[in-house]
Chains A and B, each alone.
Chain A
Amino acid sequence: MDLEYGKQYEDYRVEVQEFCKKYKGVQFNDTAKIPLASNNKSGGPVMSRSDWQKILIENGYFARSIPKEYGGYGGDSDIIKSRITATEFSNQRIPGPMGGQGIDMLVPTLLELGTEEQKNKFIKPTLHGEMIWCQGYSEPNAGSDLASLQTKGELIDDKWIINGQKIWTSTAQYAQMMFCLVRTEPEASKHAGISYLLVPMDTPGLEIRPLVDMTLQAGFNEVFFTDVTIPGKNIVGKRGEGWAVANATLGHERGSLANPNATMNRLNMLINRMKKETIDGKKLIEIPMYRDRLLKIQGKIMAFQSHALRILSSKLNPGQDVKIGKMIQKLVGTELRHELEGLGIDIMGELGTLYEDSPYLRDGGSWQFTYMYYLGLIIGGGTNQIQKNIISERGLGLPREPKVQGV
């Protein structure tokens, strides 16, 4: 066991700290367009989100290992540096780079499987936050059983003509592009009949309808395709290879749904609130039944954080076996965060139910919002029941549920 990063990394940390000082309080004049991006209202330099992305890339704080020709920093990927950057940014409340499905999922996919033309055309504007992407995977009848999707694509005169419907499409209303899975080989078996297509969102025949979720925000959309026609070259990988192409990116999504450091920050927020909040004039932190629940979840979060160190270590030390350790992250991380947010509500009792702009609102209603939001994440990104199938089948080697005859 060695938890030291070494001197070169401590020097790097100082460098990042200098950067953070310089940009303390940075503000964006176009934040509203990008959902869930962190915002900071305490006077600092004002710029567009896209300019901020470029500054981060220039300094190697983002897109570190992506080649310069595609708009990246062009260095070696360095997990420890990324971790130090994230920690220092979080400590200094400096907004991190934009995420989203384009950056987190499409870019790695194109780097691995895209044509040279696709890489040149799409990666740079995506990294710079000038091209927002949405993901068109799920359909009303293809949720956990994603591979049964039915949105149809026909190649006619070197053009794809797409008909069908996608659902749970977050950020569709802001996006310029969608990467989606479409059934292009109706004769082939379920998994072999799918292709991975890139669709401009302003193509005629494409209609977006907002889908209001339980938080009362339109976090998702339904997207309808009626003879949506796109160039034949807008395919990643070959015809019928879409399932494999998509699987390369689903892994990226799962890891990012449950960040243990974000959960630890929320726990610290909860502790601070319990030190201030009172019932019958007594501080909540001093009431044994609340305190025990707090400490109980703290133990879980600490274990999950230690676990993240073990996963980090496995990336730095090839050969360290954490196969099952990785498989459990989405399940454990999302359940844990949901439970923590629920505790935030419980300790506040009736006050914990207040929402939107109510008087006596605590922390902007974020405990209720995140409690519900994480229920969405427990269901999304492969439901936690599907995660249990993955852990038991791929991790423990238990057999699959037999197929029901005649369905």
Chain B
Amino acid sequence: MYFGLSEEQTFFQDNVKKFLDDQAPLDVIRQITAEKNTSIQEEIRQGLTNLGLNALLIPEEYGGLGLDLLFAAAVSEGLGSGVAPIAYSGSYVMAPLAIIHGGSDAQKENYLTKIASNTVKFGIGLSEYIGAREDAKLIINGNKVNGKALFVIDADDASHFILSDDQGTMFIVDADDSGLEVIELTSIDKTRSYVEILLNNVTAEILDNTVKNNNAIEKTIDAGRIMLAADSVGAAQVMIDKSVEYAKERKQFGRVIGSFQAVKHMCAEMTAELEPCYAIVWHAAHCFDYIPEEARLLACQSKSHISEVTKMVAKKATEVHGGMGFTDLLGLHYWFKRIGMNRQLLGSPELVRDEAGKIQGF
């Protein structure tokens, strides 16, 4: 019995973190979020692709690494800790899983090989299935789709999108289709991109095994939620580490503020709440592949619970930094906003808990 990340998973995660520390320090993040699509962002994307991020979950028969979701979660934690300005959860976790679980053999052969070789890149938008805002809706008619998809994630650079109607039927559209319009949404989180897509008689390739049942879309959303939760855990840990570091240096009233219980107790509270979050998100990722009967509840509860804990951490960590925490200069807000975004994506905590209730027949 062993509960935790393996040596390989830790090693890979460390490599991701180290890469981001070296290639995407705060001033680089700042530059990328201000200017968008800079060449430096492209270099970071390329570097992480070189590490194999795009191919993690693709089975070996399609040219991928054939790793499991816990591996992907370990990576996501690393990306969250570095507020990585790249697409991941949507493009390289949810999209491949949507195709693995929802695609025909031909679709798998076609798309999985191309994701692994980095010749296609997917954005994904399932908000119309999870909970439609602004009456957004997609109507499938034969092989044509009309309507609107909101909060499509990982859209920058995408050659294709995977979208869904409100019944959980997923389909692929080409980003170059003349009936497709991409409208950028400006969110608080500028490390990743979010868009709206308008579809006017766009040609859709329906994922064959998503028409009759919702298994594939549920797996895809579960995995996405686990990735976002892991990303938030990574981000929250950095916020705590920065708080502790700051509390050891900053002096007021002739002593370091970390010696005041008002401050040190905030650090202890953040740590005490975050520590079990590692366990539940790893547990959820492990069950996703190996203990399916426990997987759905764990996926929902890790997403909603971690959203709550990391929101608390984001607030308290900012407070520990005092006025500096509030400034752009310190840049702590990149982590604050990353956590804030992850919380709402693929279902805010209340929505996800409601789903957890339904899974248990409440």
Contact B268 A310 (CB under 8 A): no
Contact A1 B255 (CB under 8 A): no
Contact A80 B362 (CB under 8 A): no
| B258 cross-chain contacts in A, Cβ below 8 A | 392, 398-399
Q: Which of B3, B272, B275, B304 contacts A299 (CB 8 A)?
A: B304
| B264 cross-chain contacts in A, Cβ below 8 A | 388-389, 392-393, 396, 398
Contact B276 A304 (CB under 8 A): yes
Residues 287-316 of chain A, each 1 if its beta carbon lies under 8 Å from chain B, else 0:
010011011101110111011011011001
Q: Which of B273, B278, B350 contacts A310 (CB 8 A)?
A: B278
Considering the complex, give the chain A residue whose CB is closest to the CB of B6. A1
| A317 cross-chain contacts in B, Cβ below 8 A | 2, 4
User: B305 at interface (Cβ–Cβ under 8 A)?
Assistant: yes
A251 to B128, CA, bound (A): 51
Contact A391 B272 (CB under 8 A): yes
User: B256 at interface (Cβ–Cβ under 8 A)?
Assistant: yes
Interface of B: prevailing SS: helix
Contact A1 B4 (CB under 8 A): yes
A271 to B260, CA, bound (A): 41
Contact B275 A328 (CB under 8 A): yes
Q: Give the shortest distance, in Å, between A181 (CB) and chain B (any CB).
A: 26
A370 to B65, CA, bound (A): 51
User: A285 at interface (Cβ–Cβ under 8 A)?
Assistant: yes
User: A325 at interface (Cβ–Cβ under 8 A)?
Assistant: yes
A399 to B256, CA, bound (A): 8
Q: Which of A288, A294, A313 contacts B2 (CB 8 A)?
A: A313
A299 to B360, CA, bound (A): 13
User: B87 at interface (Cβ–Cβ under 8 A)?
Assistant: no
Contact A402 B259 (CB under 8 A): yes
A271 to B297, CA, bound (A): 15
| A397 cross-chain contacts in B, Cβ below 8 A | 244, 248
Interface of A: prevailing SS: helix
Choose the segment among B44-52, B112-120, B149-157, B279-287 that binds chain A (4+ C-beta atoms closer than 8 Å). B279-287
Interface residues of A in 1-46 (CB under 8 A from B): 1-6
A5 to B302, CA, bound (A): 24
Contact A295 B356 (CB under 8 A): yes
| B267 cross-chain contacts in A, Cβ below 8 A | 391-392, 396, 398
Residue of B5, B247, B264 with most chain A CB atoms under a 10 A cut-off? B264
User: A87 at interface (Cβ–Cβ under 8 A)?
Assistant: no
Contact A5 B1 (CB under 8 A): yes
| B176 cross-chain contacts in A, Cβ below 8 A | none
A389 to B286, CA, bound (A): 34
| B276 cross-chain contacts in A, Cβ below 8 A | 300, 303-304, 306-307, 328, 332
User: A331 at interface (Cβ–Cβ under 8 A)?
Assistant: yes
Contact B1 A2 (CB under 8 A): yes
User: B146 at interface (Cβ–Cβ under 8 A)?
Assistant: no
A13 to B85, CA, bound (A): 49
User: B269 at interface (Cβ–Cβ under 8 A)?
Assistant: yes
| B298 cross-chain contacts in A, Cβ below 8 A | 302
Q: Which of A271, A312, A331, A387 contacts B1 (CB 8 A)?
A: A312
A302 to B305, CA, bound (A): 9
User: A324 at interface (Cβ–Cβ under 8 A)?
Assistant: yes
- A sample of 24 inter-chain contacts (CB < 8 A) reads A1-B3, A1-B4, A1-B70, A1-B282, A4-B1, A291-B354, A291-B357, A292-B353, A299-B280, A302-B302, A303-B279, A307-B276, A307-B280, A310-B279, A310-B282, A316-B2, A324-B275, A328-B275, A385-B261, A385-B265, A391-B267, A392-B264, A392-B267, A398-B247
Closest 4 CB pairs of A and B: A299-B305, A306-B279, A313-B3, A388-B268
